[in-house]
Amino acid sequence: MIYVIGHKNPDTDSICSAIGYAAFKSALTGEEFVPARAGELNPETTFVLKRFGAEAPVFLESAAGKDIILVDHNETAQAVDNVAEANIREIIDHHKIGDVQTKDPIYFRNMPVGCSATIVYLHFTENNLAPDKTTAGLLLSAILSDTLAFRSPTCTEMDVKTADALAQIAGIEDIQGYAKEMFKAGSELAGKTPKEILYLDFKKFTAGDTTYGVGQVTSMDADELAELKGTMTEYMNSSFDEHGVDMLFLLLTDILDESSEMLCAGKNADETVQKAFTSAEEGRYYLKGVVSRKKQVIPALTEALS
Ligand code: MG
Ligand code: MG
Ligand code: MG
């Protein structure tokens, strides 16, 4: 049995690409590929699975001794526990090349596109296969999620074309309307603790000797984001020692304004943001045009920290 698994704090792409790639591999080989997850589902993904009638992947607590395929990441810090003791069979990703190592040569397909699901769909078409209606709906949702419905600078023409093809199979006529519905379900923050909000979509990175974590909350509701500023800044400072990082960042991304507000905590975190983004002023980091953690924030922070 081979597990297909995305990163910790799974987002819609990590869950849906795991399901989609497992379906593809099973269809291609007739063998058993099991979609898995390295953490709890977020509200957006919960909505998506329900919308298309799909089951959540199985929770994998440890990858030790297991055969696994990684999707949507290739960094040890983001992977399921004990990934170093797993047999990694393949990697399908769209991020910078990280530090995951293997003993043998493997199939490693990394493309600079907006979403892993775009690469998953490519595997179907390259092999004259097609995803079923449910899988197509999941892969479409992943693309809309990762590209902020085509607004992110990470989005490519291939993502848009793939989303169109998937929408046809899934029977979604109004793509933007569906995206709006999905984002709304995903930014349902009422009743969530600051800790839950920070970890909704959170990734750890290392640059030199510095380990830092970057969370992101995306919303179409500017008021909701404005409310978070005070509570989250306070929480990040008061709970700082719990998170096991040198610096903590949180992006409050306004999808419609195509901008982000950056909150930070930790020694030198302010200086790092100011160095990374020349437009940032002390105490208020309004970053116009910045919506992508991967393409706009991580490279700038890594550069500032080196
Ligand atoms: Mg992801
Ligand atoms: Mg992704
Ligand atoms: Mg994401």
Which tens digit of pLDDT belongs to each residue from 202-234?
Answer: 999 988 889 999 999 998 888 889 999 999 999
CA of 126 to the centre of ligand 3 (A): 26
Sorted by where each begins, the domain ranges of the chain are 2-184, 194-305
**Which residue has 């063998």 as its token pair?**
31
CA of 14 to the centre of ligand 1 (A): 5
The predicted pLDDT at position 5 comes to 98
CA of 249 to the centre of ligand 1 (A): 17
The predicted pLDDT at position 40 comes to 95
Residues with CB under 5 A from ligand 1 (ion): 11, 13-14, 72
CA of 11 to the centre of ligand 1 (A): 5
CA of 6 to the centre of ligand 3 (A): 12
Ligand closest in space to the Cα of 6:
1
The predicted pLDDT at position 100 comes to 92
- Buried (b) or exposed (e) across 212-230, using 16+ Cβ within 10 A? bbbbbbbbbeeebbeebee
CATH of domain 2-184: 3.90.1640.10
The predicted pLDDT at position 151 comes to 92
Single-letter amino acid, residue 124 = F
Task: Report how far residue 296's alpha carbon sits from residue 285's, in angstroms, rounded to the nearest whole number.
Answer: 14
Categorise residue 288: left if φ over 0, alpha if ψ from -120 to 50, beta otherwise: beta
CATH of domain 194-305: 3.10.310.20
The predicted pLDDT at position 278 comes to 79
SS (H, E, C) the chain: CEEEECCCCCCHHHHHHHHHHHHHHHHHHCCCEEEEECCCCCHHHHHHHHHCCCCCCEECCCCCCCEEEEECCCCHHHCCCCHHHCEEEEEEECCCCCCCCCCCCCEEEECCCCCHHHHHHHHHHHCCCCCCHHHHHHHHHHHHHHCCCCCCCCCCHHHHHHHHHHHHHHCCCCHHHHHHHHHHHHCCCCCCCHHHHHCCCEEEEEECCEEEEEEEEEECCHHHHHHHHHHHHHHHHHCHHHHCCCEEEEEEEECCCCEEEEEEECCCHHHHHHHHCCCCECCEEEEECCCCHHHHHHHHHHHHHC
The predicted pLDDT at position 105 comes to 97
Single-letter amino acid, residue 51 = R
From first to last of its 306 residues, what are the pLDDT tens digits of the chain? 999 999 999 999 999 999 999 999 999 999 999 999 999 999 999 999 999 999 999 999 999 999 999 999 999 999 999 999 999 999 999 999 999 999 899 999 999 999 999 999 999 999 999 999 999 999 999 999 999 999 999 999 999 999 999 999 999 999 999 999 999 888 778 788 999 999 988 999 988 889 999 999 998 888 889 999 999 999 999 999 999 999 999 999 998 899 999 999 999 999 999 899 877 665 568 999 999 999 999 999 999 998
Ligand closest in space to the Cα of 78:
1
The predicted pLDDT at position 15 comes to 98
Supply the pTM of this predicted model: 0.85
